[in-house]
Amino acid sequence: MAALRDASASPVALRPKSSARRRIAPQAIARFKARGRELTRRTGGKSLAQIVKEPFTYLVGWRGYFRFCQTPSVLRRLDEWIRRRLRAIAWKRWKRRRTRVAELRRRGVGRVLAAQTAGSPHGPWRLAAGPALNIALPNPFLGSLGLASVAVQRPPQSAEPPYTDPDVRWRGRGEVARLPPIPIALSYCVTQRPSAPILSA
């Protein structure tokens, strides 16, 4: 009885099997960021488009290796980290306040927000997470430059059932869903001649 009580009180015994998930080790995340800093150095006179393309092979390989992890939020945070780093690099390259205001305004940022961001005492890393740089350098723009993603892009699931569903074959694809027809017995499907009318005398 004592052994059973000890086993029931063990945290391992109480942990459900479904709670064990494939996670990315913290050491792997640290190596990813170190390699990302190395591949996105702003030295060498490269343009932002050239810097974006540098880590493409590494990001695609990293995604292929960790695609089966069960913590997709970690991969999304790494995507956010690499995009934030690229925005910080662009902010450093603009250097002067006048240039920063002009670049933000040219990229769709409002006048007040552009002036406040250009005159902010905060550093590039903090401003890279702010609204101004997210508007000026949005995710689709960085993707158009060739930035790869480490998060697995899953195709959107259709709300319609597959063609193999008999209900789809009955109502047709894309129509409004209705209740399925009432099944009709086979004996009722046999057509019979109508009986002759009875004539009264």
All structural domains of the chain with their residue ranges: 23-144
Q: 58: pLDDT confidence band, cut at 50, 70 and 90?
A: confident
Whole-number pLDDT of residue 54: 84
Q: Is the pTM of this model over 0.95?
A: no
Return d(Cα 70, Cα 190) in angstroms, integer.
57
Q: To 10 degrees, what angle do helices 97-106 and 72-94 make?
A: 130
Interval 8-36: pLDDT, tens:
443 333 344 555 677 888 898 898 899 88
Average pLDDT (107-129) is: 94
Please state, in angstroms and rounded to a whole number, the distance separating the CA atoms of residues 14 and 24: 24
What backbone torsions phi and psi does residue 167 show, to the nearest 5 degrees? -65, -35
Count of CB atoms situated within 10 Å of the CB of 82: 22
Q: State the chain's mean pLDDT as an integer.
A: 74
- The predicted-structure confidence for 172-187, as pLDDT tens digits, reads as follows 444 444 544 444 444 4
